[in-house]
Amino acid sequence: MKAVRELGSERRSLRWWAVMSIQHRLISVNPSFRDEQLNMGIPREDQETKKKNRMKGKNIIPEEAAYIAGFVDGDGSINAQIMRRPDYTLKFQIRVSITFFQKVERYWFLLFLKKKLGIGSCRKRNDGMGEYIIVGKQSVLQILDILRPYLRIKKRQAILITSICCQLKKEQDPLQFLKVCEMVDLIETLNDSKEQVITSETVRAELNL
């Protein structure tokens, strides 16, 4: 048993070292992505975005925002994925999303959330679960603007996703895109993802960077 505990501790230490290593590289490339922003603040670029993204969820009071943020912390996901897009110039796309999960018996609650936030879509899966998902840079930024102050468990993911969204551009420099992909790797690590099919190393290799 002692050996098993030591092995688990070693694995956790290695994973934490990987997170810190990626954060260090991000901060060295982008000074605005500093430690205090990871812990409490938001990227500087998001200040203007906040002023523009007040339309969705504008009727949500602080108590409701805190409750929905708690739902995300417990039964939700704040995620970013690297996806292949042969029709794109760089052949890859970064997909950002916020997802709420609930059993189909309580599917009505997901529909209620969708109506309350005024954005996204709901679906019933074949495994007895329902999903309410918000996808896309602008939509995700709008909702994170509302929920971020109240998040606890997934606050770091929310801040990273905000930074990712602010750095994504239509005409993306390959090296800068690679740096954003490294941030996606960090999101996958924070979310304890079992398998990340496409990583920043995949992008680096296929773009010859």
Residues designated as active site: 74-75
103 phi-psi bin (left φ>0, alpha ψ -120 to 50, beta other): beta
CA-CA distance, 115 to 111, in Å (whole number)? 6
DSSP helix/strand/coil, 195: coil
Spatial CB neighbours of 61, under 8 Å, sequence gap ≥ 6: none
* Length of the chain measured in residues: 209
Tokens 């390959």 appear where? 174
Q: What's the angle, vertex CA 71, arms to CA 67 and CA 76, rounded to 5? A: 150
The answer to whether 147 and 85 are in contact (CB under 8 A) is no
DSSP helix/strand/coil, 205: helix
Cβ-based burial of 195 (10 A; exposed 0-12, middle 13-18, buried ≥19): exposed
Spatial CB neighbours of 108, under 8 Å, sequence gap ≥ 6: none
What are the CA-CA distances from residue 52 to residues 100, 115, 141, 171, 195 (Å)?
25, 21, 10, 21, 36
